[in-house]
Structure 1
Amino acid sequence: MEFRVLGPIEIRTEEQTVLLDGKKPKTILAALLLENGRVVSDSRLRDVTWGPRQPATVDQQLYGYVSRLRKLVGPGASITRRKPGYSLSLHDSLLDSTEFGRLAGLGYRELRANRHESATRHLSAALALWRGPALEDVTDFLSQNELPHLEEARMAAVEGRIEADLALGRHQELIGELTNLVEAHPGRERLRAQLMTALFRSDRQADALTEYHRGRAFLSEELGVDPSSALNSVFQAILSGDPKISAPSASTHHIQVRSHADFVPRMLPPDIPDFVGREEQRSELKAHLGAHTGKVAPIVVTGMGGIGKSTLAVSAAWSSHDRFPDGQLYMNLGGTEAPKDPHNVMGLFLQALGEPGHLAFSSMDERVQRYRSLLAGRRTLVLLDNASDERQVRPLLPSAAGSSVVITGRSGFNTLEGAHVVHAAPLRLDTSLSLLARVAGAGRVTAEPNAACGLAAMSGGLPLALRAIAGRLTAKPHWSLAKLEGRLLHGPHPPLDELCIANIDLRASVRASYSPLSPQAKTALRMLSLLPVPDIPVSLAARALEISRPEAEDALEELVDARLLQARKPTAEVWLRYRMHPVVRMFAVEQAEAQDSADAWRDVVGRTAGSWHRCTQKSGAEAPRGVPGPDPVRDHRLRRPVPDVPGLARPLREARSSGWDLAASAFARMVAVHPCLSEAYEAVLTLSPFS
């Protein structure tokens, strides 16, 4: 059996092509095939198949498509459920992209050994496997992510085959093909150098020089750069009549080779001009960057999505870049939702360090050895942004002292040897207001201090949320801050829709952590988001969810690991509690409204109300005679003992009849003894345990 992705997606047996209808099953099959036996997470399969707008039944549909594919692949392959997703094993079947890599690798080895006939034979056979554009009939969500590196591999093979043909004296036959290729890919300087060489060897020196000037104009006008020294060297060789370029037996590849020391990668993204706060953490990062410890000790910046890990790491990298004269390597690794294969990342890093494209299909071990050899003795900064887990980053770590590595990710990377971990926490209120003023305008923030504080509180100190709020205000200069605050609390649109602006999507940021969760943890997050309380002890979660304390603790700790809850350390007086970030609560309330019934909301809030009522009874708290207690119906503080949370109004309205007012009445007795509302709440939570 043969599986094909280099063109339309196909499954072929000896007798026929297996019928495979629809883009979605083809996309799922292609995503599994391209990972070559590695696990593809459910969230990744959902994202590449349905994109950001996924139906409520997406999990059931995914399961149905996988079940169909299991039947279609037959005995030639097997699809296995392996958490957090699926993997596909090919057994004795062939995959055309793997065969392409094998043949191309043989061709590159022959090319390096100057066995040009064999090289062109292997590379031509590899290219013959392409039946058109790769991944021709999958969704755009998959092709946009996977097609670029497949196409790059094809073009590297084309360039290698032409290199061998030029060395065999076939320059005249190549001119037409090269002319078309350069027209289609004007930025590929190696192709242009090969066309110039073919023209020069065909006694068309003027055309060769014209081609150089045409390429130089394109690079200047379209990209704002000059030709590389490699292309310039071919130009100079033509001008001087260098015998190296005149002789067909000489490879133009050797003319273009530069020392690896000539390649100084500058891959850092732009610095953040309005960076505020975190001076202490940035100083901590700078102190560890470039420290001469004799070992490579990774620096890990971790925290919830949108907390500003990348901004902090990039800012520290720029402020320390002069310590790394041999360059800076950077890659966004895609996070848990679209993790990049370290094999492909390594290929890009090797190219940035000056390795020729013919190493594109070397094995992972060969790439790692070459990468670490190139970095040995150099002072290079490697920034691995938005990493999914330790397995993804381990191959990308240098082995010799001199270079430094910074990793950002939501995972704690707890078993990464020698790592120094920096936890990015939410911004303080004053820093949040400063960022809001810097982006939205200081005058607007100063004019409405109460509304500004309300918006900052809704953001929970999350920089991504603050930038979304500021971006919304910038886009609506005629709005007051109070108007936006009101729209977020009581507006016609869900608050996360209101804050979806340009390239900022808070919902997607939280979903990336939510999607891989177990069903029990997802349910816990949705249901606990309905409780208008700031902190949740294990015992209260167990009662609210009607599960055992160990089960509740497991669910809460899974949410902590996913950076969706924050654990607050226990003290002698206070039990361990868990706090939900306001933006996470917005997302979780949305999910509860979409997936859970009003009866489920009432049950959860009712059980919580009952626990509160029993706790206040246990406390024996009674209002002193003659001192009227607060009215639980009229006093909004008792009905909702935390600040307003956007999106929470409807679930609470539904839950009123379940006994929340009863809990508020009991809570009023605590307030009579503890006039400060926060003290009263503390008094309830310190009772142990909820029963």
Structure 2
Amino acid sequence: MSLRFSLMGPVRAWRDEEEIELGPRQQRAVLAALLLNNGIRLSNDQLVSMVWDHPTPSAVMALRTYVYKIRKTLPELNLKSRDGGYTVRAEIVDDCRGEPLEGLRSAYFDAQRVRLGDYRLKAREDCLERELDVLELQKHVAAFPLRERPRALLMRALYLEGRQGEALDHFHRARALLNEELGLEPGPELRKVHALILKGDLTPPRRPEQLLPDLIDFTGRVEEIAQALRTLPGAVGITGMRGSGKTALATRIGHLVRGRFPDGQIFVRGGDVAGELLRAVGVENPVGDKAALWRETARGRRFLVVVDDVQDAAAVRDLATPGSAMILTSVHRLNELPGVTWLKTAGLAEREARDFFRKVLGPVRADAEPGQAEVLLERLSRLPGPIRVMGGKLSSRPHWTTGMVLLQMERESKLDGVIPSDCAAMFAPLIAAEEQLSDPERHMLMCFARQDAEVIDSHHAAEMSGADPGEIELVLESLTGVHLIEPLVLGRYRLPHFVRLYFGRRTAALTT
């Protein structure tokens, strides 16, 4: 669930897309004072002096009453008294409304209105840049005739509507006004737009819409989605083993919040992340410090950036920009990245796995053999990727039962360990994962599988592998880092059934 606020116009708040009633004026004034000092502790005396110019002795009691009501209305703010004061940490958005802090009156709010005035103008002009509406730009230019940025935007809008002559005429009128009023020539932004119009090189701003399609059968992950929505527009990382649905979860979160990022959504899969971000917004063949160029390009804009399958922290370090959001997926949890809230995907919960299997296969066939379906889902460790593959396989064989698939899996496990072609898709996540393993890591998983052990401790692992106990700890922790085994308590680990199934076949292949 996402909570966000606006101070541009009346003080307003939304929970997801639903606006929240914030109560009487003085209660909104207390909330506004806290939001204006986002992340800073304010004492009772400070809050009273901000809200009331001439406070009466009852002001402190009134303040406590308003804080109590704000807590009840907005429990997500976690507004608790600490060290004799209050602190909030909240997402504050620019929604291009009217006068800042509308309706709030005190010397403090009057001073804040002046401070927010330029910020409001910038927020309004950011909106106008996204929309390039000629009529709205003409109104804004008339209201603020000496501001050059909206004049440059108006010239762009006129040119893109095919009104080249009017755009050039507007430049000459702006130049005359600036000379007459200030004795100045047009600034670099106006001159640049003028030159581009003369060359015919002015193009519409690119608004990327690159999110992958949302999956209509997406199931579960309610807690993970709620945590991500609370975190955005901060950075969210999603980690888990291959096949656990990291990309699907990132895509679902992206579609839920895309409306909050009006400058577009960018999807990048590994590689040159900074370069791909720049190309997505129209910067072709970027050179030099691409991360710095991206931050400059994205300044003042709100993008949603999804970077899938991040291989190392360096690829995404220094790419975060204020107002934009970044969702990362990675097999490895990249702890060296600051300010990232990490979520972990594993197998679905039992009920979620059943629901997903029913969506893929169809409820009639899935419900016909509930016991067999449970066995199959457990063997797949309730991972979304393998469930989709096996459900699709059953769908393509209308006369097969779930029990037949289980029987086939049993027969195949007793063969020479070669993975049949129709099972390769099911095991694709682990085939890809094995390619990244070192020899000691691969050997350890095969030892686990040979013992058919679900839980094993580090001492037993050392005995099985014949390796030094100190080295074994490093190997086990490395396998934990890519989610092929799960840590339970110190020195004890669990091997997921699906991983055990795959490496059991690989062991059979090598011993045949």
Paired position in structure 2 for 1:650: none
Amino acid at match of 1:284: Q
Q: How far apart are 1:537 and its partner, in Å? A: 0.7
Q: When the two structures are superposed, what TM-score results if normalisation uses the length of structure 2?
A: 0.59
State how 1:26-41 maps to structure 2 within 5 Å.
none
Deviation per CA, 1:237-284: give whole Å up to 9, x if none.
9999x9xxxxxxx9899423236xx32211101011111111111111
* Pick aligned residue for 2:276 from 348, 351, 367: 348
2:145 matched to which residue of 1?
none
Matched, 1:362 2:317: no
Asked if 2 retains the 8 angstrom alpha-carbon contact of 1:300 and 1:421, the reply is yes
Please name the residue that 1:258 is paired with.
Answer: 203
**Quick check: 1:426 aligned with 2:382?**
no
Does the alignment pair 1:278 with 2:193?
Answer: no
Shift of 1:516: 2.6
The match for 1:525 is: 445
SS of 1:258 mapped into structure 2? coil
- Aligned: 1:390 with 2:313: yes
RMSD: 2.9
Contact preservation (8 Å) 1:495, 1:586: no
Secondary structure of the 1:354 match is coil
> How many Å apart are 1:361 and its aligned residue?
5.1
Structure 1 position 406 matched with structure 2 position 310: no
2:242 to 305, 317, 321: 305
Q: Could you tell me how far apart the structure 2 residues matched to 1:495 and 1:461 are?
A: 23
1:467 aligns with 2:388: yes
Name the residue aligned to 1:268: 211
Q: In the aligned structure 2, how far is the partner of 1:347 from the partner of 1:552?
A: 40
* Cα distance in 2 for residues equivalent to 1:591 and 1:352: 42
Matches within 5 A, 1:88-107: none
Q: Contact (CA 8 Å) 2:220, 2:348: kept in 1 or not?
A: yes
User: Per-residue CA shift, 1:467-496, capped at 9, x if unaligned?
Assistant: 011110111111111111111122487695
1:90-123: CA deviations, max 9, x gaps?
xxxxxxxxxxxxxxxxxxxxxxxxxxxxxxxxxx
SS in 2 for 1:421: strand
Identify the residue that residue 653 of structure 1 maps to in structure 2: none
1:265/1:234 Cα in 2 relative to 1: closer, same or farther (>3 Å)?
A: closer
Output the CA distance in 1 between the equivalents of 2:229 and 2:398.
38
The superposition leaves residues 358-382 of structure 1 with CA deviations (integer Å, 9 ceiling, x where unpaired) of: xx1522x0x2222111211111111
Structure 1 position 557, deviation (Å): 1.5
Q: SS of the residue aligned with 2:478?
A: helix
SS of structure 1 residue aligned to 2:342: strand
Q: Distance in 2 between matches of 1:347 and 1:386?
A: 16
Output the CA distance in 2 between the equivalents of 1:251 and 1:402. Answer: 29
Deviation of the 1:588 alpha carbon: 1.5
SS, match of residue 394 in structure 1 = coil
Q: Kindly tell me: are residues 523 and 377 of structure 1, through their superposed partners in 2, closer, same or farther at Cα, counting changes over 3 Å?
A: same
Distance, in Å, in 2 between the alignment partners of 1:251 and 1:422 is 46
Partner of 2:372: helix, strand, or coil? helix
What amino acid sits opposite 2:267 in the alignment? Y
- Alignment CA distance shift 1:518-1:251 (3 Å): same
CA shift in 2, pair 1:591/1:254, >3 Å: farther
Q: 1:495 to 1:406 in 2, by over 3 A?
A: farther
Letter in 1 for 2:330: G
SS at match of 2:451: coil
Partner of 1:488: 409
Taking the aligned partners of 1:265 and 1:253, their CA distance within structure 2 comes to: 27
- Give the direction of change, closer, same or farther, for the CA distance of 1:500–1:238 in structure 2 (3 Å limit): farther
1:581 to 2:496 alignment? yes
The whole-number CA distance in structure 2 between the counterparts of 1:486 and 1:255 is 69
Distance in 2 (CA, whole Å) between partners of 1:317 and 1:234 is 30
Counterpart contact for 1:448–1:481, Cα < 8 Å = yes
For normalisation by structure 1, the TM-score amounts to 0.44
The 1:496–1:325 alpha-carbon spacing in structure 2 relative to 1, beyond 3 Å, is: farther
Letter aligned with residue 489 of structure 1 = E
- Equivalence for 1:554: 474
Q: Distance in 2 between matches of 1:488 and 1:401?
A: 51
| Equivalent runs, 1:199-238 vs 2, <5 Å | none
Checking the alignment, whether the CA contact within 8 Å between 2:418 and 2:506 is kept in structure 1 is: no
The answer on 1:437 being equivalent to 2:350 is no
Cα-to-partner distance string for 1:167-216 (whole Å, 9 max, x where unaligned): xxxxxxxxxxxxxxxxxxxxxxxxxxxxxxxxxxxxxxxxxxxxxxxxxx
1:377 paired with 2:300, answer yes
Would you say 1:318 and 2:255 are equivalent positions?
Answer: yes
Q: CA deviation at 1:444?
A: 0.7
1:63-103 CA-partner distances (Å, limit 9, x unpaired):
xxxxxxxxxxxxxxxxxxxxxxxxxxxxxxxxxxxxxxxxx
**Shift of residue 285, structure 1, vs aligned partner:** 0.8
CA contact (8 A) 1:496 1:506 kept: no
CA distance in 1, matches of 2:165, 2:396: 56
Name the aligned partner's letter for residue 262 of structure 2: P
Residue among 492, 517, 536 paired with 2:456: 536
Q: State the secondary structure of the residue aligned to 2:200.
A: helix
Q: Once the 2 structures are TM-superposed, how far is the Cα of residue 527 of structure 1 from its aligned partner? A: 1.9
Asked if structure 2 preserves the Cα contact closer than 8 Å seen for 1:534 and 1:579, the reply is: yes
Pick from 244, 265, 268 the counterpart of residue 331 of structure 1: 268
- Do 1:376 and 1:401's aligned partners in 2 also have CA atoms closer than 8 Å? yes
Partner letter of residue 550 of structure 1?
Answer: G
The alignment status of 1:508 with 2:431, answered yes or no, reads no
Is contact 2:211-2:251 (8 Å) kept? yes
Q: Aligned partners of 1:236 and 1:419: how far apart in 2?
A: 45
Distance in 2 (alpha carbons) for counterparts of 1:447 and 1:488: 20
- Using the TM superposition, give the Cα deviation of residue 429 of structure 1 relative to its aligned residue in structure 2, in angstroms: 1.8
| Shift in alpha-carbon separation, 1:559–1:329, aligned structure 2, 3 A | same
CA contact (8 A) 2:453 2:495 kept: no
Is residue 278–residue 294 contact of structure 2 (8 Å, CA) maintained in 1? yes
In 2, the alpha carbon distance for the partners of 1:238 and 1:497 equals 65
Superposed, 1:624-635 pairs within 5 Å as none
